[in-house]
Structure 1
Amino acid sequence: MAGLYIHIPFCSSRCVYCGFYSTTGLELRERYTDAIISELKMRATSENISTIYLGGGTPSQLSIKQLESILTTIYIYNKVEGTSEVTIEVNPDDINLEFAKSLYAMGINRVSMGVQTFSNERLRFLHRRHNTSQVPHAVETLFKAGFRNISIDLMYGFPEQTLDEWKADIDKALELDVEHISTYCLMYEEGTPLYRLLEQGKVKEIDEELERKMYYTLIERLESAGYEHYEISNFAQKGYRSRHNSNYWKGIPYIGIGAAAHSYDIRTRSWNVANIRKYIEAMERGERPYEEEIIDDNTRYNDTVTVALRTKEGLDLTILPDNQHQYCIANAKRHIEANLLKLENNHLALTKEGLFVSDMVMSDLMIV
């Protein structure tokens, strides 16, 4: 069983916070689609494909014909399970009924939509294309087209954002009654326009205590509304966990197709060149432009710990070799005593108090 990720890096404009590889070179879409198809043929697998994820960038910047070509190639050259989860990321302003019906007709059964905030002022600050009135219309349109598995992304921790403003965003998200909500605190990644604004003193990060209150308010409100908090940043109605992302956290192999896409097969990790022109030109020559690393035992342990502890179920200690099991327990002891970790039925998991400081806790369990 494996997951398949297709990276579509096109954006009509870049968001100020985004550290993912993307491009505004929309004139390359046709050549890039052809390159994606070439790589799909080159890397066809005998493994059963259980999830397909079209991410970006903005996959909804491709035409229906281009998306159909990619999906058709996937189904021809791979064994895709009949119950596979097929997700596409979209922007609210790209959604109309004709487009949504076409997505549904080609077998896409899950939509992840970048909402981020319900404040038009903050949307402008982020350089997002849509406005708040387009979000409920997009959700309703997707529902009319047949979709019954919709996820939205929300962000918090904006400069000068108050707790009451964040509560209002949560309430508006709950009004949509979507099946899944992913949430992220605004990050100031080096190299992004947002980071440069921070360096120039034009914006200021929110206070850590306010960020903590925002995070725990989010958990309380979404859980009270019936959402399961199944991963640090993710909430789902019953039966609607993201299967694709859950496979990442379980360490299941995945194939990444496209510029900057990563792949993992337990033994190795590889990544394609993060340059769309170099990627296209290499694929037109019949070559995959990538680098690869062999995963040693210590790296595999570190990877297992960091992804498993993100989940509600936590780390199954029985899968670790004896020496790593003992190392993990020894380093976890003080965090268990501090009520940041809990140990139950051979599973080590973050407590509610540990969620907010998860990076610190995980780093203490690493082998360096």
Structure 2
Amino acid sequence: MHLYLHIPFCKQACHYCDFHFSTSLGQKSALVDTLCAEIFLQKDYLPGRNLETIYFGGGTPSLLSESELRQIFAAIHAHFTVSPTAEITLEANPDDLNREKLALLRTYVNRLSIGIQTFDEATLRWMNRAHTATEAEACVRLAREAGFENMSVDLIYGIPDRNTALWQLDLQKVLALDVPHLSAYALTIEPDTAFGRWQKKGKMLPADEDIAAGQFEELTRVLTAANYDHYEISNFAKPDQYARHNTAYWQRRPYLGIGPSAHSYNGHSRQYNLANNSRYMAAIRQGELPATVEMLTMADQVNEYLLTGLRTKWGCSLGELNSLLMSDFAEKQGRDLAAMYATGWLSRVDDRLLLTPAGKLFADRVAATLFVEE
């Protein structure tokens, strides 16, 4: 099984981020206590107790102290067995990753996901990132010196008023640093963010979809030429360096989410924890789980599989779609499948539906076209 822990604290708010977090770090210790209490409350959510992956997301999990990490892992080991080969990932910001902190993290986790976003100083300031371009580059080298061979960095493309030459420089930095895994995301302007408010007031241009598409194509060209496997639309890895935890999500494997705003999935339903730190902690202290449960219909499960599976190099198995649908998917959706084949965005290889290179630019549209109804 797979475990996700949401650490909802950041030093400051990035202008593009709409994840659940707080900059009130005074609550951090109390929230860690509550996370550990929730681990006990949720220990029976899934039938298994053997953890294949653990993922610390956020927020900024690299803000956790040694005592807080020790406390969380004590709670995990008290209720679960951690596989000797488990992938244990922690999201980190470059400004947290000095030699001392990396040595500490190395005793608890074996994979880092570093939120660099760009190596350009001016763009970092515009995004309100807490780190500098120098720290962005140095932290990768320091992490490798500390023994982290398994690491990923995040980059953002499709940024308004930012020319493609800067994006190419970011990609060349990744190659020069020999990073084994890259996650690259197009900038999305969400309404309840600084960027969203700027755009509403006319202080910021919307992202140019054509420029973003061109930068995605450049990303794909450069990384594949450097022998990275484009195994999910936003993710590139060297051989045997896939993100095992995220791959579990894409392949519909059950997982348990701990913390405010965390999601869990057991194969039949999803549950969503309350995205409010104080109310989350108050409920857990009362022995209550502040979660909303959504039972998944047959159509929900088919459509979720299409939405996530088509994004990966493995695509969607017609056999699994037939099993979920309890009928012949290709027969039921024959007209829509034919339309997607005709666009050149979708192909069928043996039992699998796969996006073509051109189709990767339209993944959500392809999936939505194939969605089924009850």
Counterparts of residues 202-241 of structure 1 (less than 5 Å): 202-241=203-242
Contact 2:315–2:355 at 8 Å: present in 1 too? yes
Q: Structure 1 residue aligned with 2:360, among 346, 355, 359?
A: 355
Name the structure 2 match of 1:244: 245
Paired residue type of 1:361: V
Secondary structure of the 2:185 match is: strand
75-84 vs 28-37, which deviates more?
A: 75-84
Q: Supply the distance in 2 between the matched residues of 1:363 and 1:185 (Cα, whole angstroms).
A: 20
How many residue pairs end up in the alignment? 366
- Report deviation, 1:329: 4.0
| 1:235-293: CA deviation from partner (whole Å, max 9, x where unpaired) | 00100000000000000001000000000001110011000000111111221111101
Q: Structure 1 residue aligned with 2:63, among 61, 64, 67?
A: 61
Q: Structure 2 residue aligned with 1:340, among 339, 345, 348?
A: 345
Paired residue type of 1:317: L
Runs of 4+ in 1 over 4 A off after TM superposition: none
Normalised to the residue count of structure 1, the TM-score between the two structures is 0.97
Counterparts of residues 204-353 of structure 1 (less than 5 Å): 204-321=205-322, 322-353=327-358
Paired residue type of 1:109: N
- Report deviation, 1:325: 4.1
Secondary structure of the 2:133 match is: coil
Question: Are 1:21 and 2:17 an aligned pair?
Answer: no
Contact 1:44–1:77 at 8 Å: present in 2 too? yes
Name the structure 1 match of 2:167: 166
Question: Are 1:86 and 2:88 an aligned pair?
Answer: yes
Q: Supply the distance in 2 between the matched residues of 1:20 and 1:326 (Cα, whole angstroms).
A: 40
Contact 2:158–2:209 at 8 Å: present in 1 too? no
Q: Structure 1 residue aligned with 2:370, among 350, 365, 368?
A: 365
- Report deviation, 1:328: 3.7
Name the structure 1 match of 2:123: 122
Contact 2:346–2:356 at 8 Å: present in 1 too? yes
Name the structure 2 match of 1:104: 106
- Report deviation, 1:180: 0.4
Contiguous gaps of at least 5 residues in structure 2? none
| 1:125-181: CA deviation from partner (whole Å, max 9, x where unpaired) | 111000010122211211121111010000011111111121111111211111100
Paired residue type of 1:36: L
- Report deviation, 1:296: 0.8
Q: Structure 1's 329 and 80: CA in aligned 2 closer, same or farther, altered over 3 A? A: farther
- Report deviation, 1:324: 3.3
Paired residue type of 1:348: L
Q: Supply the distance in 2 between the matched residues of 1:38 and 1:115 (Cα, whole angstroms).
A: 32
- Report deviation, 1:208: 2.1
Paired residue type of 2:338: K
Secondary structure of the 2:122 match is: helix
Q: Supply the distance in 1 between the matched residues of 2:335 and 2:244 (Cα, whole angstroms).
A: 32
Q: Supply the distance in 2 between the matched residues of 1:208 and 1:271 (Cα, whole angstroms).
A: 32
Q: Supply the distance in 2 between the matched residues of 1:300 and 1:6 (Cα, whole angstroms).
A: 24
330-339 vs 246-255, which deviates more?
A: 330-339
| 1:313-367: CA deviation from partner (whole Å, max 9, x where unpaired) | 1001111232434234432211112210010111001000000111111110112
Name the structure 2 match of 1:145: 146
Paired residue type of 2:2: G
Paired residue type of 1:6: L
Q: Supply the distance in 1 between the matched residues of 2:178 and 2:223 (Cα, whole angstroms).
A: 11
- Report deviation, 1:205: 2.1
Q: Supply the distance in 2 between the matched residues of 1:326 and 1:305 (Cα, whole angstroms).
A: 16
Normalised to the residue count of structure 2, the TM-score between the two structures is 0.96
Paired residue type of 1:334: A
Contact 1:52–1:84 at 8 Å: present in 2 too? yes
Secondary structure of the 1:190 match is: coil
Paired residue type of 2:96: D
The alignment's C-alpha RMSD in Å is 1.1
Contiguous gaps of at least 5 residues in structure 1? none
Contact 1:123–1:130 at 8 Å: present in 2 too? yes
- Report deviation, 1:8: 0.2
Secondary structure of the 1:133 match is: helix
Contact 1:19–1:191 at 8 Å: present in 2 too? yes
Secondary structure of the 2:5 match is: strand
Q: Supply the distance in 1 between the matched residues of 2:270 and 2:69 (Cα, whole angstroms).
A: 27
Q: Supply the distance in 1 between the matched residues of 2:171 and 2:263 (Cα, whole angstroms).
A: 32
Contact 1:301–1:324 at 8 Å: present in 2 too? no
Q: Supply the distance in 2 between the matched residues of 1:123 and 1:259 (Cα, whole angstroms).
A: 28
Name the structure 2 match of 1:186: 187
- Percent identical: 37
Q: Supply the distance in 1 between the matched residues of 2:345 and 2:236 (Cα, whole angstroms).
A: 21
284-293 vs 176-185, which deviates more?
A: 284-293
